[in-house]
Structure 1
Amino acid sequence: MGTLHLVLNAVTVIFIAATMFAAGLRATVPALRGVLADVPLLSLALVANMAVVPLLGWGIGALLGLPPAAFIALVLIASSPGGPFGAKLATVQRGDVVAGAAMQVLLASLGSLTFAPTANAVLKAADIGTTVSLEVGALVRTVALLQLVPFAVGLLLRRYAEPTARSWHPAAASVSNITFLIVLTGMLLGNWHDVVGLFGSLALLAGFLLGILAFAAGTLLASGSARRRTTMGGVASVRNAGPALAAIGLAFGDQPTVLGALAAILLSGLAAALPVSALLSRRRKAPDAAAP
């Protein structure tokens, strides 16, 4: 089991770095500048992702009376914006792909700095009956190093060596997708008894509700066209697993119960967001990658 955890941790590091490197290779300075210049959109997205969704996680966990491990996993996920599948949901729903991708990488970058303080504040305020305290400084440094540095390298390559960036992006995206599946499978298989135990609890429902309500919050707290607003909903509904996995490794010693709950909540949240995006796609005739 110790060897499995070491391998899983190594693959997790690769997943986080590859995801942000691929995001940097895909991002452009004009697209990021466009999102930053749209003050209403940026302000609403920050409120939705940095404040509303973490509070939703807290509220859902308290309402359903989740056990500590599932509650911790739910709060960690809710506090971590900018999941890479957010940009993919923009494509699935035929939404504003450019704005979705730019917002996703921006939230992931900012989230590497805000994740630890947000999760720590919610867990302390929730008083779930167990002592929980994330080492904010160490976690911020770890997540920032794993996310911001690869993203910056990718962005610089896209800026100054665009042909290289375009040729490298498919491979980086493939590594990100494959390692994500390996990490998810490893969490499920390595903690299968804890995952099975969740079927008798409300953890799966909590993840599903978080996905639906985060989608709604991201859509309502957005400006622009309907395509852009629902794209922001998709970005808000899919959270970033990287910081949550780093937190479990640093603060909880890779506890099987928390890892199992995290895997189950991630899957149920994605199961909530995908059908909504597919339904939106069926109502739209053609992709609009640059809707205002």
Structure 2
Amino acid sequence: MDTLHLLFNAVTVIFIAATMLAAGLGATLPALLAVLANLPLLLLVLLANLVVIPLLGWGAAALFGLPTAAFIALLLVASSPGGPFGAKLAMIQRGDVVAGAAMQALLAAIGSITFGPTANLMLETANVGGGVSLDVATLMLTVAILQLAPFAVGLVVRHFAPSTALSWHPVAGAVSNVTFLVVLVGMLLGSWRDVVALIGSLSLLAGFAFAVAAFALGTLLATGPWVRRSTMGGVAAVRNVGPALAAVGIAFGNEPAILGALAAVLLSGLAGSLLIAARLSRHRTAERRRQDL
């Protein structure tokens, strides 16, 4: 069992680092600066992802009366913006891919710092977790090392050696995708009984509803044309699992019940986000066909 835990932790570290390296390799300074220069969009997106959506997660957990493990999992997910799949959703929905990728990378970098205090405040205020309090300093340091450092390396390589970055980016993305699946399967297999137990607790429905509501709020709290606003909705709906996994490992010793709940919330939320993105893609494809006629 110890060997499996070590293997799970190792794969998780690789997943987080590869994801942020891919984000850095795929980002450019002009794109990031363009996002920063659009102050109304930036402020609204930060408000949505750092304040409104964490509160939405707390509200959804309370509304659906989730058991403790699922309550904790949803709070951790809601507190962690900048999920790498947000950029992928921009592609799926045929949205503003450049703005989506830049904002996702920026939120992931900022979220690595804000996640600890946000999650800790909500866990303590909601009085869940059996009195467990996140070691914010340790968590911030761990997440910063695992996220900010690879992102910075990728960004530097992209800026000074773009051809190298373009050749590395597909590899880093593939490693991120594969390790994400391994981590997700590991969470499910290691705690399948806990996942099954959640079926009657409305946890899956809560994760689905949270993602759909986050998509809507992310779209509402954005500026610009509809394509860009819906892209920001996709970025808001997909949260960053890396910090949440780090928190479960540091504060809860990779407790199977919380890992299972985390996997359930992530899967149901991802399903909701994909359904919306696919619907937008079909609508935009049909609209372009009508314009071409």
TM bin, normalised by shorter chain, reads over 0.9
Q: Which residue of 2 aligns with 1:84?
A: 84
- AA matched with 1:283: H
The CA deviation at 1:217 is 0.6
Deviations 1:192-251 (A, max 9, x none): 111111112111111001100100110000000000000000000000000000000000
Q: Which residue of 1 aligns with 2:291?
A: none
The CA deviation at 1:260 is 0.3
Q: Which residue of 2 aligns with 1:285?
A: 285
Deviations 1:131-168 (A, max 9, x none): 13100000000000000000000000000011110011
Write the mapping of 1:260-275 to structure 2, written as runs, cut at 5 A: 260-275=260-275
Q: Distance in 2 between matches of 1:287 and 1:36?
A: 31
SS in 2 for 1:245: helix
The CA deviation at 1:286 is 8.8
CA RMSD of aligned residues (A): 1.3
Instruction: Verify the 8 A CA contact 1:18 1:150 in the aligned structure 2.
Output: yes
Write the mapping of 1:40-119 to structure 2, written as runs, cut at 5 A: 40-119=40-119
Write the mapping of 1:111-150 to structure 2, written as runs, cut at 5 A: 111-128=111-128, 130-150=130-150
Instruction: Verify the 8 A CA contact 1:22 1:173 in the aligned structure 2.
Output: yes
**CA 1:286 to 1:150, structure 2 compared with 1: closer, same or farther past 3 Å?**
farther
Number of positions where the alignment pairs a residue of Structure 1 with one of Structure 2: 288
Runs of 4+ in structure 1 displaced over 6 angstroms? none
Q: Distance in 1 between matches of 2:287 and 2:170?
A: 21
Q: Distance in 1 between matches of 2:174 and 2:128?
A: 39
Q: Which residue of 1 aligns with 2:16?
A: 16
Q: Which residue of 1 aligns with 2:211?
A: 211
Instruction: Verify the 8 A CA contact 2:83 2:239 in the aligned structure 1.
Output: yes
- AA matched with 2:137: G
Instruction: Verify the 8 A CA contact 1:94 1:286 in the aligned structure 2.
Output: no
Q: Distance in 2 between matches of 1:81 and 1:138?
A: 19
Instruction: Verify the 8 A CA contact 2:123 2:129 in the aligned structure 1.
Output: no
Q: Distance in 1 between matches of 2:286 and 2:36?
A: 27
**CA 1:287 to 1:107, structure 2 compared with 1: closer, same or farther past 3 Å?**
farther
Q: Which residue of 2 aligns with 1:174?
A: 174
Write the mapping of 1:215-226 to structure 2, written as runs, cut at 5 A: 215-226=215-226
Q: Distance in 1 between matches of 2:247 and 2:30?
A: 33
| Unaligned stretches of 5+ residues in structure 2 | 289-293
The CA deviation at 1:129 is 7.2
Q: Distance in 1 between matches of 2:145 and 2:24?
A: 14
Instruction: Verify the 8 A CA contact 2:58 2:122 in the aligned structure 1.
Output: yes
**CA 1:129 to 1:28, structure 2 compared with 1: closer, same or farther past 3 Å?**
closer
Q: Which residue of 1 aligns with 2:33?
A: 33
Q: Which residue of 2 aligns with 1:247?
A: 247
| Unaligned stretches of 5+ residues in structure 1 | none
Q: Distance in 2 between matches of 1:161 and 1:286?
A: 39
- AA matched with 1:169: H
The CA deviation at 1:283 is 1.1
Q: Which residue of 2 aligns with 1:152?
A: 152
Q: Does 1:257 align with 2:257?
A: yes
Q: Distance in 1 between matches of 2:204 and 2:131?
A: 24
SS in 2 for 1:223: coil
- AA matched with 1:95: G
Q: Does 1:184 align with 2:184?
A: yes
Q: Distance in 1 between matches of 2:69 and 2:3?
A: 23
Q: Distance in 2 between matches of 1:166 and 1:257?
A: 40
Instruction: Verify the 8 A CA contact 1:94 1:287 in the aligned structure 2.
Output: no
Q: Distance in 1 between matches of 2:287 and 2:238?
A: 20
Q: Which residue of 2 aligns with 1:238?
A: 238
